[in-house]
Structure 1
Amino acid sequence: MTSTQERRPSRLETRSIDYVPLNERHGKIWHLGPLWFMSNAQIATLAVGLISITGGGDLFWSVVAIVVGVLVGTLFMAFHSAQGPQLGLPQMIQSRPQFGYIGALLVWLFAYIQYAGFNIFNSVLAADSMSTTAHGNAKVWIVVVTVLAFVLALVGYDLIHRAEQFLTYAMIVVFGLFTIALFLLHYPAGTFDVGTFHPTPFFAQFGVVAGYQISWAIYVSDYSRYMHPDVTVRKTFYWTYWGSAIGGAWMMIAGSVLVAWVGAQRFEHTGDNAIAQIDHAGNRIFDGFGAVVLILSALGLVSVMALNMYGGSLTLISAVDSFRRVTPTLLIRAVMITLTAVLSVIGALAASANFLNDFTEFLDLILYLFIPWTAVNLVDFYVVRRGHYAIAEIFNPRGMYGRWGWRGVTAYLIGFAAMLPFMNIETATSDFYTGFISGAMNHVDISFFIGLPVSAFFYWLFSRSIDVAAETRVAQAEATELEQAAEAHVQPEVEKHL
């Protein structure tokens, strides 16, 4: 710790996209484990494990694809987590040094669509869970769960961490018993055999799992930025990585086992759904236990909805700040969280069953959009600038990072273009898009393996001309003023250092 006396923030969080000064840094590194465990340990994640078996794959190879996809995809989101304590900034505002003051709007637009889209899906799923157990109109429950998530997001960072810790302990106990219940079910003969390796469903499952884990990359610094920079990158990485990986793999494998029990064809072509099957399987422990699982699952979804409202509000504030400088206050946080919540309710109330089927596939397309971004952002932080940023310049519209970061934008576009021939995007009713190489490979999608290295390489190549030493000198010159301005909750005067 520094000699500066630590000061915890007020009960209602007022900071948003601004830098967190050292005297407000607090929290323990292990808090990241429960937060990212619970963010993944909910029934929306369970649905991610259905892809392979419903596509004709075997349970064994589905589990292998899930484990490998989680281990690979979680690497990237966990590396982003270490940026929070070092920079004291939320995740998406950190895109300005790579993409520019205005250019970062490109990825912020995609990020907000993801926040809104997942919130629509999660609120409908939570409402269905409550309607199944506590009964009542599902549309009323959509409003109820959204209000609960709104309150959690409005109070902010500390309450979100505490809620996720409590839910983690409850989920380990309840879903642990549910997992035992899965082994008490009667499965078709040969369900647990090694079976035959089918590359198309295997890589479809791997890609969705890896993409799902990478999608958390736009959140992670939001929930580590109040921690002191003395926490090591390694510990930040490990607590984030294993919390997310264990929670995600557990739910996805449970989903894969559940659909293997029900039968892929019956699962797809009857009125049965995942919620009904969870209720049925849970009742094998004792009558009513399925309802306990679903109620806890609904609370878990509420916590994830709060993450989406919190992150969505930060993204909206960042976007507004790109056109007119924003002074971070509780009022602007409340306005942006309210707007995000209202959009979520409207979307959820308007959603039909067919819409949700197609929209979850559309979200896969959104995940493609973040593969080049994560490559650019991580290469910049760990390889090019190595964590040395002039933070005040990130908020300067005429600062040294420029309005358009041609290096980041160009590397992003090249990486995304390189992915196109390898993509395979299918909806519930049709093939939305199949690249010519993917088509020649029987619809195997390996775009993940293309976009990451291509974007990373070109950004590194373009960034060799950056004078990191000069940028570091600017950062050092602004450091004292940055701390003083942040403590006073005002914008630092940065122009004099240019």
Structure 2
Amino acid sequence: MKVETRSIEYIPAEERHGKARDLFPIWFGANMHITTLVTGALPIALGLNLFWSLAAIILGTLLGAIFMASHSAQGPQLGIPQMIQSRAQFGVIGAIFPLFLVMFVYLGFFASSGLLAAQTLSSLTSIDQTWSIVFLNVLCFIATIYGYNLIHKMQKLLSWTSFLIYLVATFIVFQLPLPSGSWTMGNLDLPVFLLAVSMVATWQLAYAPYVADYSRYLPVSTPASQTFWYSYAGTSIGTIWMMTLGATLTIAIPNFLDHSGGNLAHLFGSFAIIMFLIIIFGQLAINVFNLYGAFMATITTIEPFIKLKVTPKVRIGMIFSVTVVGTGLCLLGQSNFLAFFLNFIFFISYFLIPWTSINLVDYYLLRRGRYNVKDIFDLNGQYGKINWIACIAFLVSILAEIPFINTSFYVGPIAKAFEGADIAWVIGLVVPAVLYYFPMKKKLNNEKCAEDKIERVI
């Protein structure tokens, strides 16, 4: 297995390989882990019964995955990582602002997933949780060095093994007795339901900044529809399955979330070791995703200022630095994981969603996938240093979301008026789409007219 030599640069045609169907195990496996399962417990923690929790999980997943898969379809066409493509919307320097925020996303998920993996390893062995965190993060560091091809192989192995093991787990879980009223349709608390849908949709939207990183090596001829649907199906099936288990286990087993990995594994009785191993493998795999994404975001952030050649030594050094930061966050978050994760997943949504909206409007409605990749790497290219239209739309959209948000540390006035319903994610999609589309369309039309005049003169 060779260390990946590419980082943020364009993947030339002769290095392209694979098929769109390879994306199904990538995104199915990316959700078949204990962090997804714990996220499925959050609607129950908010007060919904099992029926309405599952309805929120399904609706939130199917909606959020549309945007996630739409980003994935960009990879084969452009052949570059997702976040560096943001330079076409925000400008080469302007793209650093959303990039900086996205780095917190990677590091936050790295910390939360690492905590769950460490809890599971500590339940299986006598290793202290702190040392479990360090040990597992070292393994993630080593795997991330090898990069794209190893990640694809890991995900294929994880997809098949987790499918078989969780199939057995599903059978066991649905034999557990449930409290009365778990499946009743009455007494829906609509604001809480909308909050749960928002939370689950955010889970899918959190993949948006790096989803195209795993399709960028596919041949340019790969149909966009295939890239979309294989990504959509993989992430939707994996997410709904694991979150359903999480919601069910939370009401079936008292204090399940206190030691989610251990409680799940012990359902297998004398075969618990099998589930322990698949849980740890799943957490390692998703954290390699997070570490790889953080590395790519770091390179993209510093590249406009330092024309850095990513040699194997540079690659190892940067991945090591990101691993150290993520491990520090993981150690700090040990005391109260659920509160930490709940606050984090809400917080990131308000920054990710406007970026998603601007990127997709630009790609599908304005430029229709036609970009000059060379200029994306050029400070003096056609995309410029800063596109103020995108930057202002992004900032205004975040401000517009504030009255609608509902977090543990702040509830906006409109969210209060809606009895806690959080529809900030809808605002975060609609407002930037409008603020960006119309002035940017006018700007592009003016540029085209200027080019036409030059051609006529020539």
Alpha-carbon distance, 1:267 to partner:
5.4
Aligned residues: 451
Alpha-carbon distance in 2 for matches of 1:214, 1:66: 14
Asked whether 1:274 is paired with 2:260, we answer yes
Q: What does residue range 37-436 of structure 1 map to in structure 2 within 5 Å?
A: 37-262=28-253, 266=255, 272-280=258-266, 282-283=267-268, 287-354=269-336, 357-426=339-408, 432-436=409-413
Distance 1:114 1:278 in 2: 27
CA displacement 1:290-349 (0-9 Å, x = unmatched): 332232111111011111111111111111112222233333322221111111222223
5+ unaligned residues in a row in structure 2: which ranges?
Answer: 452-458
Across the aligned residues of Structure 1 and Structure 2, the Cα RMSD in angstroms comes to 2.0
SS at match of 2:407: strand
Amino acid at match of 1:184: Q
The equivalent of 1:453 in structure 2 is: 430
Q: In terms of mean alpha carbon deviation, does 131-140 or 250-259 score higher?
A: 131-140
Relative to structure 2, which stretch is displaced further, 168-177 or 44-53? 44-53
Answer with 406-415 or 77-86: which moved more.
406-415
Distance 1:435 1:316 in 2: 33
Rounded Cα–Cα distance in structure 1 between residues aligned with 2:256 and 2:36? 17
For residues 399-453 of structure 1, the C-alpha deviation after alignment (integer angstroms, 9 at most, x for no partner) is: 2211111111111122222211111112xxxxx1111111011111111111101
1:442 maps to which residue? 419
Structure 2 distance, partners of 1:345, 1:171, is: 26
* In 2, Cα distance between equivalents of 1:159 and 1:277: 30
Q: Which has the higher contact order (CA 8 A, sep 6+)?
A: 2
Q: Give, in angstroms, the shift of residue 209 of structure 1.
A: 0.3
- Per mean C-alpha deviation after superposition, the further-off stretch among 341-350 and 42-51 is 341-350
For the Cα contact (< 8 Å) 1:420–1:435, is it kept in 2? yes
Offset at residue 466 of structure 1 (A): 3.5
Note if contact 2:96-2:301 (Cα within 8 Å) is conserved in structure 1: yes
Letter in 1 for 2:425: F
Amino acid at match of 1:435: G
Query: C-alpha distance in 2, partners of 1:466/1:225?
Result: 29
Tell me, what secondary structure is at the counterpart of 1:218? coil
Deviations 1:147-169 (A, max 9, x none): 21112111110110011001100
CA distance in 2, matches of 1:318, 1:468: 29
**What's the counterpart of residue 462 of structure 1?**
439
TM-score calculated relative to the size of structure 1: 0.87
8 Å Cα contact 1:53/1:201 also seen in 2:
no
- The residue type equivalent to 1:279 in the other structure is A
Cα deviation, residue 236, structure 1: 0.2
Contact residue 115 and residue 334 of structure 2 kept, 8 A: no
Per-residue Cα deviation, 1:172-194 (whole angstroms, up to 9, x for no partner): 00011001001121222232232
Unaligned segments of structure 1, at least 5 residues: 1-9, 427-431, 475-498
User: Which residue of 2 is the match for residue 488 of structure 1?
Assistant: none
Separation in 2, partners of 1:110, 1:360: 18
> CA-to-partner distance for each residue in 1:208-261, whole Å, 9 max, x for gaps?
100111000011111110111100110000000010011011111111111121
SS in 2 for 1:190: coil
1:401 aligns to what SS in structure 2? coil
With the length of structure 2 as denominator, give the TM-score of the two structures: 0.94
Tell me the equivalent position of 2:455: none
Range that drifts further, 389-398 or 193-202: 193-202
Question: Retained in 2: the 8 A contact 1:51–1:205?
Answer: yes
Q: Is the 8 A contact 2:404 2:424 kept in 1?
A: yes
Runs of 4+ in 1 over 4 A off after TM superposition: 468-471
In 2: Cα distance, 1:319 partner to 1:88 partner: 18
Structure 1: distance between partners of 2:3 and 2:211 = 20
Deviation at 1:383, TM superposition (A): 0.6
